């Protein structure tokens, strides 16, 4: 999981510095890609000895050549590949290396000796690998928690905006308006008209009785 987490960020055979030794002689790095598999598995923590001089490095094809750590020709990335050749000047001084990942088909571009960091003397440090895995898990858990909270807030904010406010609505039933009696109805029997209005709900039973009483009087 550590390898997947780091590899997805950087891609390629990039190494990250985790814990430098206090004396400055060793550096502990994490292999973030599979360019050196199966010699160095992705996610392995490796130990680099920075006191080994470039002249001491054995350059030869797999599996004889030494594995060296060096700065990439561009950027701040650190690579750990096997030294397969080294170029020497007339005075016998090494001025560049040709390297190759054990998993890769072709060799890398030659790197200057000034980019050399040190020799890989241990290709697997389980304790540090567990530590980096734990750190990655904690980072993923924190990121997941933050993302969950943000999505929760966004979802409920959007849902709240879409819900219509119905609880505050007041429904009132309008009282029936008085209806003007058509002219043709005026010629009919008033009691009949009252009965029709009562049947249509235009007047109440009490109003009907009151009006009927007045008509008879």
Measured from the Cβ of residue 151, the count of other Cβ atoms closer than 10 Å reads 10
Domain 2-129 bears CATH identifier 2.10.109.10: yes
What's this model's pTM, rounded to 2 decimal places? 0.51
- The answer to whether the beta carbons of residues 35 and 107 sit under 8 Å apart is no
Question: How is the chain split into domains, by residue range?
Answer: 2-129, 183-216
List the pLDDT tens digit at each of the 217 positions of the chain: 444 444 434 333 434 444 444 456 888 888 888 999 999 998 888 999 999 999 999 999 999 999 999 998 776 789 999 999 999 988 889 999 999 999 999 999 899 999 999 999 988 877 665 666 677 678 888 888 898 888 888 887 777 666 554 444 444 444 445 555 555 545 567 778 878 887 888 888 888 888 888 777 6
Distance CA 117, CA 101 (A): 17
Which residue in 90, 88, 87, 68 sits closest to 79, CA to CA?
A: 68
């Amino acid at each position: 999981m550590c390898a997947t987490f780091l590899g997805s960020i950087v891609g390629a055979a990039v190494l990250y510095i985790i814990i430098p030794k206090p004396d400055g002689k060793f550096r502990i790095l994490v292999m973030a890609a599979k360019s050196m598999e199966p010699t160095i598995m992705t996610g392995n923590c490796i130990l680099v000895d920075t006191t080994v001089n470039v002249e001491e490095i054995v350059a030869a094809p797999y599996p004889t050549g030494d594995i060296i750590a060096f700065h990439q020709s561009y950027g701040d990335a650190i690579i750990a590949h096997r030294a397969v050749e080294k170029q020497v000047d007339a005075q016998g001084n090494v001025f560049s290396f040709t390297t190759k990942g054990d998993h890769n088909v072709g060799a890398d571009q030659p790197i200057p000796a000034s980019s050399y960091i040190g020799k890989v003397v241990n290709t697997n440090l389980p304790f540090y690998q567990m530590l980096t895995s734990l750190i990655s898990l904690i980072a993923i858990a924190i990121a997941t928690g933050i993302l969950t909270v943000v999505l929760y807030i966004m979802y409920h904010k959007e849902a709240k905006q879409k819900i219509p406010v119905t609880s505050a609505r007041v429904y009132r039933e309008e009282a029936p308006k008085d209806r003007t009696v058509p002219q043709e109805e005026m010629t009919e029997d008033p009691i009949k008209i009252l009965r029709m209005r009562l049947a249509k709900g235009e007047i109440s039973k009490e109003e009907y009785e009151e009006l009927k009483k007045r008509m008879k009087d």
